[in-house]
Structure 1
Amino acid sequence: MTVAAKTKRNIFLVWLLLVPAGLWFTYQTYPPHISGKWLDIAAFLILTSVVAFMPMVINNTPIFLIQWVSLATFLSFGIFVEMIFAQAAVIVLLLRLRLQKEQLFRLPLNLIMFFLVSLVSGVVYYALGGQTGPTIINNLHSLALAAVYAVVNYFLNQVIISFYLYFIYKSKESYFGKDFIVETVTTFMTLPLGFVLYMFYNFQGLLALFIVAVPFASLSIIFKLYYSSQKINEYLQKAAEIGHQMAERLEVDGVIDLFMQKLSEMLPVDYAYIFDVISDDELQLVRRIQCGTGITTESAKIKKNQGISGFVWDKKKGYLYHSKKDWKPFTKGYLPSDAESVLAVPIVRNKKVIGVLMLASKQKRAYERSQLMIVDILCSYFAVAIDNAKHYEITKTQSERCALTKLYNYRYFEKLLTEEFDKLFQFQRKVLSLIILDIDHFKEVNDTYGHQSGNEILCELAARLSNLVGSRGTVARYGGEEFVVLLPEADKKEAYHLAEMIRQSIANWPFTLQQSLELTQQQVKITASIGVATAPEDAEDPLALVRHADRALYVGAKRAGRNRVAEYSSC
């Protein structure tokens, strides 16, 4: 949630106009009676600071359980002292949370809230007849007034928080969610501690602070451990789900995209980098993500044990840096200047590092040790998914491509032709043209120069066809010395024009043989005959289109003298 710069300035202005004057007004109206109690006040201030320094973080939201100490402080020393302590508690809490520069407005914002809560609940208490230092044992009236103070304090706090969320943070989420329920329950569970602390303090003095504070500290630690374990369980469940989703992806790019997307959703990621091991001592940057957007970058290379990624590769273990000063001496310069927290993990497959993942955030202390463990697990899933995707792509290529020319093979061409005719029948295509090409007298080339030289010609011809056709269509090796070009949305005139360009590029530029029978480099001139047919003008099904283009090739081009282009004609 972002807050406009003008709103932030107004918050600082409101604090400047309201809080200092309000504290002075409170001191004049309800002056504290603290003569001779300076040691007690110091002890309460220390307790307040300790409690503020130990918030429970639930769903990334700190739960601030300071109300019970505030209640005991208010009853013991009055509204002014409680107000000062509340202000101090806010400062301690926000220092503990390590606010970034753009979040500094939260300090005056929370100081305003706690000032208003302290002022209104204290004034209500005094207006109902309450006094500082009341006897609440066997005095139901005083106990009821103290309870009213606590309830007003809590609910006014929630009202102001909801106001902040809706009107300052512009949040659309429901306020009465899980966090609200947990905070309400824990607050009213700990409020009795405030009454106990106050009563013990009246009887035992400062010893009461230790008697009550130790159980609270234990409770805070228990809650923290519980929610930390719950958070880790949630991360593990998400990691398992992401692992299954990556396993379903069959392309390497698809696996990488899903991996980076899920990491960005699960963790505060402003920058992400994936390095691939390309040799025994060198990494190469293969993917960079900045603020959720993939960026085409230069192929930066990192030596082993250089920079953060090289260091992680060398040590074969993950590392976590909480701020720029921790990693700045080791970086190779590819991290942006506003990055703070860094999490780097090796990508390991079969006990061998095959890459390095590095995540960075603009916030300090954005990542926790448990998240390092989760990312390490995800990298294991990622390594397996990448390996499977690479094997699938290799197998797919081998099944679809000609091993010699690297063009698509007959099987792939047949499948594509059927798909294109389906689009034609569904009116997703208006026209579909096919070019079939056959090298003239290719047997003589093999007999004269050898089959290896014939293979060289086939490979060079495949390259010329691919360059000429480009993205306009699909080139495939049909078999032997025959090639086909499938041209979606190209009419017969356009197909004929392209076929003529192909014919001329073959006839006018010799082919270079590196491994001929003469053992010297030679230039060989060849020609090709080409047939063209178009659907639905010439054919109503895939087999008919191939048959008619083939007929144009042999009847219209080969029989007419070769080295020419012929269109199919039904006449």
Structure 2
Amino acid sequence: MDVKPQTKQAIFLVWFLLVPAGLWFTYHTYPPKINGHWIDLLAFLLLTSVVASMPIVINEMFIFLIQWVALATFLRFGLFVEIIFAQIAVVVLVLKLRILRKGELFRLPLNLIMFFFVSFLSGGLYYLLGGHTGPKLQINADFLLLAVLYAVLSYTLNQVILAFNLYVIYKSKDPYFGKEFFVETITTLITFPIGFILYILYNQVGLLALLFVGVPFVSLSTIFNLYYSSEKINEYLQKAAEIGHQMAERLFIDDVVDLFIKKLSEMLPVDYAYILEASGDELKLIRRIESGQVLPNDQQFMSIHEGISGMVWANRKSFLFKTKKDWIEYSNGYIPKDAESILGVPIIRSKKLIGVLLLASRRKRAYEKSQLMIIDILCSHFAIAIENARHYEQTKRQSERCALTNLYNYRYFENMLTEEFEKLTRFERKMLSLIILDIDHFKNVNDTYGHQSGNEILCELASRLGKLVGVRGIVARYGGEEFVVLLPDVSKEEAYQMAELIRQSIANWPFSISQSLDQKHQQVRITASIGVATAPEDAEDSLALIRHADRALYVGAKRAGRNRVAEYSSC
């Protein structure tokens, strides 16, 4: 939720003009009644600070249960002390939750203003109705009723001002009376009686009351938070297992990497993410994501001990830096300047380090040690998924490529032809051209120079075809000395021109061979005959396109004398 800069400035101005003056007015109108009990005052302040630093976590909601201490403080020392303690409690809570980031400092004065209004208005009404500091609640029911009214009014005003902040300042569109509201209301109603008990017990036994009441409450908060932490870790472990299964289902390396980064960003505050692959004695950047954008991997290779990633690599262990001052001395400049928290984890498979993961956040103390353990587990899943994907891609590549020329083989070409023809029938393609090429008298080349030399010529021809066609089409070895070029959205005239360019590049430039029968380096000249056909002009299905291009090759080019290009004609 974005807040306009003018609104932020206005909040600081309101706090500066209102709160100091309001404190001065409160001190003179409702002076505190300490009566020399400074140790008691400090004890209440300590209890307030401890409770403020230990908000109870319920379903990922931080419940600020300071009202019961504020109630006892108000009844014992008066409005001025309660306001001061409330302001201190807000500061303690904000520091504990570490919610103040760059551009959000206005949240501190905003909350200070809110708590000042709540304290001043509810306390002022209490005094206006006849209440006073230090009432004997156990003796006079009227004073008890006024104290209850003060507590209810205090909570009600807190909710009203909070709603104002959400809808007017933050422009929130979420419903206010949701789960968070009901949970906070119930917990507040449960804890308010503790404030009355603390005040009454304090009047009976003095400072021991703070121990009798405060210690159980603080212990309960600790137990709640420990339970929440264990629940959070269990949730992370379940997510890690789910992500591991999802990564194992991905067949390609890029898909595994994308899923890994996406899930990490959902689990943790990630502004920058880097995955580096160990290659020999260097680390190579294979994925670089900054502010949600995938950027080019143009960083230089890093050696062992160089930068934070090199340190992770050298020590083969994880590192957690909570602020920039902790890691700046190890950085070699490739991490953005506004990064604060950094998480560096080695990616290890079968006791071999295969890479390094670096996560960074603009927030200070954005990562915890428990999260480091989870990321370490995820990196193990990631390493296995990457290895499986690499094996799959290698197997797929071998099944799709000609082992000699490294061009696509007939099986892959046939699948691509079927897919492209389906696009043509769905009008996703306007046309589809096919070039079939056959080397003239290739048997003579094998008989004269040997099959090894013939293989050299096939490999060099494959290289020439790849360079000539580029990204405009798909080049495949059709079988033996035959090659095909599939050209989506290329007209017959353009395909014919490309075929002629291919023919000339074969006929005009000799091929080098070094493994001839006489073991001499030689230059060999060959020619090729080429047939061209285009769908839907020449064919209505994929088989007809191959048949007609093949017919153009043998009837129009081979029979006509070879070393020429022929296009299919139904006449």
User: Which bracket does the TM-score occupy, shorter chain normalised?
Assistant: over 0.9
SS at match of 2:103: helix
| Cα pair 1:472 1:487 within 8 Å, conserved | yes
Report how far residue 182 of structure 1 moved: 3.1
Which 5+ residue runs of structure 2 have no aligned equivalent?
Answer: none
Q: Which amino acid aligns with 2:200?
A: M
* Aligned pairs (5 A) from 1:297-446: 297-446=297-446
Q: 1:517 to 1:162 in 2, by over 3 A?
A: farther
Structure 1 window deviating more from structure 2 (495-504 vs 166-175): it is 166-175
For each residue in 1:35-69, what CA deviation from the matched residue of structure 2 results, as whole angstroms up to 9, or x when unmatched?
32222212211221222222234566532211111
Structure 1: runs of 5+ lacking an equivalent: none
Measure, in 1, the Cα distance between the counterparts of 2:172 and 2:495: 59
2:151 & 2:516 partners in 1: Cα distance?
Answer: 98
**Range 35-44 or range 76-85, more displaced:** 35-44
- Give yes or no for the alignment of 1:561 onto 2:561: yes
Q: Which residue of 2 aligns with 1:179?
A: 180
Alignment partners' CA distance in 2, 1:2 and 1:451: 72
Matches within 5 A, 1:33-112: 33-58=33-58, 61-98=61-98, 99-112=100-113
1:156 aligns with 2:157: yes
Which residue of the partner structure matches residue 461 of structure 2? 461
Cα distance in 2, alignment partners of residues 128 and 520 from structure 1: 114
| Between 373-382 and 228-237, the greater mean CA deviation after superposition | 228-237
State whether residues 473 and 485 of structure 2, in contact with CA within 8 Å, keep that contact through their aligned partners in structure 1: yes
Deviations 1:120-168 (A, max 9, x none): 1112222232221111114332222111111111121122222222222
User: Given the superposition, is the C-alpha separation of residues 476 and 273 from structure 1 closer, same or farther in structure 2, using an over 3 Å criterion?
Assistant: same
Equivalent in the alignment of 2:200: 199
Deviation at 1:207, TM superposition (A): 1.9
> Are the counterparts in 1 of residues 323 and 341 from structure 2 also a CA contact under 8 Å?
yes
Q: Does structure 1 conserve the Cα–Cα contact (< 8 Å) formed by 2:53 and 2:93?
A: yes
1:401-448 C-alpha deviation (Å, 9 max, x unpaired):
111111111011111112222222233323221110001111222222
| Structure 1 position 474, deviation (Å) | 1.0
Cα distance in 1 for partners of 2:204, 2:518 equals 113
Superposed CA offset, 1:62-115 (max 9, x none):
322111110000000111110111111112222333433322211111110110
How far apart, CA to CA, are the structure 2 residues paired with 1:178 and 1:456?
A: 74
Q: CA RMSD in A?
A: 1.7
Q: Which position in structure 1 is the counterpart of 2:146?
A: 145
Flag the 1:266–1:408 CA change in 2: closer, same or farther, 3 A: same
Distance 1:456 1:7 in 2: 74
| Contact preservation (8 Å) 1:449, 1:517 | yes
Instruction: Determine the structure 2 residue equivalent to 1:545.
Output: 545
SS at match of 1:101: coil
Q: Which amino acid letter does the alignment assign opposite residue 421 of structure 1? A: F
Contact 1:435 1:531 in 2 (8 A): yes
Q: 173-182 vs 73-82, which deviates more?
A: 173-182
Q: 1:65 to 1:304 in 2, by over 3 A?
A: same
- The 3-state SS of whatever aligns with 1:548 is helix
- SS state at 2:353 partner: strand
Identity value in percent: 71
* 2:219 aligned with 1:212: no
Q: Distance in 1 between matches of 2:170 and 2:456?
A: 68
CA contact (8 A) 1:264 1:292 kept: no
Comparing 448-457 and 257-266, the one that deviates more: 448-457
Alignment-derived partner of residue 522 in structure 1: 522
Looking at structure 2, the residues matched to 351 and 302 of structure 1 have their Cα atoms a distance apart, in angstroms, of 21
Offset from partner CA, 1:333-386 (integer Å, 9 cap, x none)? 211111111111111222222111110101111011111111112112211211
Shift of the 518–159 alpha-carbon distance from structure 1 to 2, 3 Å rule, reads farther
Residues 1:502 and 2:502 aligned together: yes
CA contact (8 A) 2:30 2:79 kept: yes
In 2: Cα distance, 1:469 partner to 1:297 partner:
27
Q: By how many angstroms is 1:299 displaced?
A: 4.3
Residue 172 of structure 2: SS of its match in structure 1? Answer: coil
Give, as a single letter, the amino acid of the residue that structure 2 aligns with 1:332. Answer: N
CA distance in 2, matches of 1:180, 1:310: 48
Q: Are 1:431 and 1:490, in contact at CA under 8 Å, matched by a contact in 2?
A: yes
Q: Indicate the SS of the match to 1:102.
A: coil
Give 1:293 deviation, angstroms: 1.0
Give the equivalent residue in structure 1 for 2:272.
Answer: 271
* Local SS of the residue matching 1:107: helix
Map of 1:238 onto structure 2 = 239
Matches of 2:488 and 2:102, distance apart in 1: 57
Q: C-alpha separation between the residues in 2 aligned to 1:513 and 1:59?
A: 74
Secondary structure in 2 matching 1:478 = strand
State the 1:460 CA deviation: 1.4
Decide whether aligned partners of structure 1 residues 402 and 535 sit closer, same or farther in structure 2, where only a CA change above 3 A counts: same
CA distance in 1, matches of 2:226, 2:399: 54
Q: Quote the Cα distance in structure 2 between the aligned partners of 1:339 and 1:193.
A: 44
Q: Structure 1: which 4+ aligned runs deviate by more than 6 Å?
A: none
Preserved contact between residue 58 and residue 179 of structure 1 (Cα < 8 Å): no
Give the whole-Å Cα distance in 2 for the aligned partners of 1:479 and 1:244.
41
TM-score (norm. length: structure 2): 0.96
Answer whether contact 1:49 1:88 (CA < 8 A) is retained. yes
TM-score w.r.t. length of structure 1: 0.96
2:57 and 2:224 in contact (8 A); partners too: no
Question: Which residue of the partner structure matches residue 493 of structure 2?
Answer: 493
Between 1:54-63 and 1:262-271, the stretch displaced more is 54-63
Partner-residue secondary structure (3-state), 1:305? coil
Deviates most, 53-62 or 22-31: 53-62
Q: Partner of 1:433: helix, strand, or coil?
A: strand
- Superposition pairs for residues 17-28 of structure 1, below 5 Å? 17-28=17-28
Alignment deviations for residues 525-564 of structure 1 (CA, whole Å, 9 cap, x no partner): 2111000111222222222211111111111111111110
> What are the Cα deviations for residues 178-208 of structure 1, in whole angstroms up to 9, with x where unaligned?
4333332322222222111101111111221
Equivalent pairs counted in the alignment come to: 570
CA distance in 1, matches of 2:434, 2:470: 15
Note the alpha carbon deviations across 1:226-257, whole angstroms, 9 max, x for none: 11122222222222222222222211111101
How far apart, CA to CA, are the structure 1 residues paired with 2:43 and 2:342?
A: 39
